[in-house]
Amino acid sequence: MKRFVLAVAVAALAAGVAHADTIKVGVVGPFSGPFALQGKNFKAGIDAFFALNGKKVGDHDIEVVYRDVPTANPAQSKSLAQELIVREKVQYLAGFYFTPDAMAATPLLQQGNVPMVVMNAATSAIVTSSPYVVRTSFTTWQTASPIAKVAKDAGVAKAITLVSDYGPGVDAETAFKTAFEKEGGSVVESIRMPLSTNDFAPMMQRVKDSGAQALFVFLPSGPPTLAFVKAYNENGLKAAGIKFLATGDLTQESDLPALGEAGLGLTTTFHYAVSHDSPENKAFVAAAEKAIGNPAELSFPAVGAFDGMYVISKMIEATNGKQDAKNAVEAVKGLSWTSPRGPVSIDPDSRHITQNIYLREVAKDAGGKYYNKEIQTFEKQGDPGLAALKK
């Protein structure tokens, strides 16, 4: 009985929305607190999409409803997602900077008949938790694996990993280790550092003592990045020729001015650099910089959000504004387009984005601005993390 009532309610809801000419998209992200910058980038990416493509798909207006989850807080994320679906009657859920926040909301999708477009959260497993999840960002495995090859090519045989002791950090550690060992290298030590670490000098001593030729590091964005890079330089690791390897989270554009000279020459692999040279990206960056206000704050979550909106617009097009999660997701499987980051496509099996991963080096342009200079491209990278997950 209860089920029946519910089905009727959902059907009524869906029918009601089909006629409405405004389609709501609920975006959950960190808009305040220590990760506010990343949330701001979500908004900039979405606004840039509207600036370039307009707020209409066919006859349907798109309206975005933002909800703030300042730090990883699955319970709050879930109740906000629930509120977005039930009260705001959103047809699409999007955003999600942190993995637990995304994971918490996935059980709602089927019942709410709502697809979710993950614009950042980078743990491989999210797409497996519901068939209605599509991801337009990246996974830690996807960005961390190529750097292992880079290291090996540069002649590194022994590496040490240093990661923050939390889910994504452990993910990055495993990804790098797997890829590096596959290349024939060996990881001599794996250090997990508490998230609250402020002073990295003792770890640098550990790196020196380990005899590794390179270090691979993964940290949450923000203050630790700065302290870590400084410690790397000041404790003589740079001078000793120990190579610095990381994913692009560490050298995101918004942190580069703070890193300054200390960041020069750092090599990272990532799916997007603001400096990427293509007409699509030029248009995107111009719009996004305008949206964010301060151009120095623009970094990778914006492109995830921008492409996320593109995917949502395609879903709306395919379903003609009707609330139909299944067909919406079905419609974007295998979708391929040219994103500001380069050519991308949605893998029909995993619903995760296949994209180029770039090796970049921090450089300084003529105007004294620091940027990530792309020096090598790894084309059409899938998510090796999913394969590892299935094993």
Looking only at residues 222 through 281 of this chain, which bind another protein when binding is defined by CB under 8 A? 222-223, 226-227, 230, 234-236, 239, 254-255, 257-258, 260
User: Strand 342-346 vs strand 353-364: parallel, antiparallel, or unpaired?
Assistant: antiparallel
In single-letter form, the type of residue at position 188 comes to V
- When asked if residue 131 is in the footprint of another protein (CB under 8 A), the reply is no
Distance between CA atoms of 61 and 366, rounded to whole angstroms?
A: 43
- When asked if residue 198 is in the footprint of another protein (CB under 8 A), the reply is yes
Q: How far is the CB of 344 from another protein (least distance, A)?
A: 26
Q: Among residue numbers 16 through 55, which ones bind another protein (CB under 8 A)? A: 31-34, 36-37, 39-40
Distance between CA atoms of 294 and 288, rounded to whole angstroms?
A: 10
Burial 283-315 (b: 16+ CB within 10 A, else e): ebbebbbebbeeebbbbbbbbbbbbbbbbbbbb
Binding mask 66-105 for another protein (x = CB under 8 A): xxx--xxxxxx-xxx-xx-xxx-----------xx--xx-
- When asked if residue 127 is in the footprint of another protein (CB under 8 A), the reply is no
In single-letter form, the type of residue at position 345 comes to S
- When asked if residue 170 is in the footprint of another protein (CB under 8 A), the reply is yes
- When asked if residue 336 is in the footprint of another protein (CB under 8 A), the reply is no
Q: Which of 14, 53, 128, 129 binds another protein (CB under 8 A)?
A: 129
Report the Cα–Cα distance between both ends of the chain, in Å, rounded. Answer: 41
Please tell me the count of residues contacting another protein according to CB under 8 A: 77
Return the range that interacts with another protein (CB under 8 A); candidates 133-141, 143-151, 172-180, 200-208.
Answer: 200-208
User: Strand 214-218 vs strand 243-247: parallel, antiparallel, or unpaired?
Assistant: parallel
Distance between CA atoms of 40 and 51, rounded to whole angstroms?
A: 16
Q: How far is the CB of 175 from another protein (least distance, A)?
A: 15
Q: How far is the CB of 257 from another protein (least distance, A)?
A: 7
Distance between CA atoms of 68 and 273, rounded to whole angstroms?
A: 26
User: Strand 267-270 vs strand 353-364: parallel, antiparallel, or unpaired?
Assistant: antiparallel
Q: Among residue numbers 294 through 313, which ones bind another protein (CB under 8 A)? A: 294, 296-297
Pair of tokens at residue 87? 């009260």
